[in-house]
Amino acid sequence: MIDFLFNYETLRIIWWALLGVLLMGFAVTDGFDMGVGALLPFVAKTDIERRVAINTVGPVWEGNQVWFILGGGAIFAAWPALYAVSFSGFYLAMFLVLFALILRPVGFKYRSKREDPRWRSNWDWALFIGGAVPALIFGVAVGNALRGVPFHFSTDLRPFYEGTLFGLLNPVALYCGLVSLTMLVMHGAAWLTFKAEGPVADRARIIGGKAALAAAVLFAGGGVLVWLGLLGGYEVTSAIVWDGPSNPLGKTVIANSSAWLRNFNATPVLCLVPALGIVAPLVAAAGFRTRREGLTFLASKLGVLCIIATVGLAMFPIILPSSSNPGHSLAVFDASSSRATLRNMLIATVIFLPLILAYTAWVYSVLWGKVSERSVRGAGSSAY
């Protein structure tokens, strides 16, 4: 059993799955933080209402960002070629995301330092940018991954990116960005109805219902785009050597408009994942309407998980396709670190990931309960 677990093929698949788990963990946890930020100007009209909304995520947002750091670290250590191409090719987009994410902790820390309404309003808009911009750009990045990114490798495996920032902002990628934005707005609204009381929760309930319907419709529309071949697709046509050395130049890949449907056609049970990506937001929309807060949040969480999982399942075994030279696309079987690196990282993950999960569960249990205007006033300056 140990030999099977630590063979190169198994380790590569495990780390592909773990990368997906980390990205989904980030979307489910930090996703509702971003959703709350994006909703802040619309669900809270007074200073005390904005403080209620902010205090639903204020104690947990730092811990939620652990998933973002873990995801970046996993890409760097387990998939170095992916890290090199994506972080250099998407450099300006990543810089924009990081700038927005930096505004968020600064906004949390400085907003309450002064009672001046203009001061607080400026930081509230910073929190809005810190939530809405990453939610949109992350979806744009996924859209570009589905279309293919213009890059290639030299003979000594140096990556060369041939695109521009405005090239990333193409219609298909922006459409995927809207899917991401509506999905996380839905998730943020579900969190607010679960954690907040009063007008903030009431407004979040209305907006969340509309966002959930929009997320379901847009995601279903994305499926139609894939079915029509408008989202592209790439297929490995050469023999796959799962336990061979990592060299993205040693395979043949072709553009195939039906490639992203191939895994679902081969294994029909996988169709349950995109189906739940549509059904779960619809259930969340019904939960918003019927005021079933727990069901709404669980359905929203399931919708986020399934929408993201659909992308990974559709693209497997490709991780990042190249539109300019498809044969240089990065795949699970030729873009990973060495077997020893993946093995040692897996041992560390088995030890530390349960500790992170246990600590996270403990924090949420301690902070269980709703945030109300009365509780915020009673906390005084200790609240955000």
Strand partners, 331: 318
Nearest in space to 358 (alpha carbons), one of 54, 13, 63 = 63
Residue 383 is predicted with a pLDDT of 61
Q: CB 269: neighbour CB atoms within 10 A? A: 7
Q: Distance between alpha carbon 79 and the CA centroid of its chain, in Å? A: 18
- Which of 54-68, 170-184, 205-219, 284-298 comes out lowest in average pLDDT? 54-68
- pLDDT one-digit tens code per residue, 28-39: 988 999 999 999
| Longest pairwise C-alpha distance within the chain | 66
What's the average model confidence in pLDDT over 299-326?
95
Mean pLDDT for 19-46 is 92
Give the percent of the chain with pLDDT over 70.
97
pTM of the model: 0.92
Distance CA 322, CA 162 (A): 10
pLDDT grade for 379, boundaries at 50, 70 and 90: low
Say yes or no to pLDDT of 89 above 60.
Answer: yes
Q: 125-141: per-residue pLDDT in tens? A: 999 999 999 999 999 99
CA pair distance 374, 98, nearest whole angstrom: 35
Distance CA 96, CA 116 (A): 29
SS3 322: strand
- Residue 319, pLDDT above cutoff 60: yes
Cα(93)–Cα(241) distance, rounded to whole angstroms? Answer: 34
Specify the higher pLDDT residue, 257 or 216. 216
The average confidence (pLDDT) of the chain is 89
Give mean pLDDT, residues 244-262.
90
Residue 375 confidence (pLDDT) above 90 = no
List pLDDT tens digits, range 173-209. Answer: 999 999 999 999 999 999 999 999 889 999 999 999 9
Q: Are strands 234-236 and 253-255 parallel, antiparallel or unpaired?
A: antiparallel
Q: Report pLDDT digits (tens) over 333-354.
A: 999 999 999 999 999 999 988 9
The CA-atom distances, in angstroms, between 371 and each of 44, 107, 197, 383 are 13, 19, 6, 11
Per cent of the chain over pLDDT 90 is 55
DSSP state for residue 181 in the 8-state scheme: H
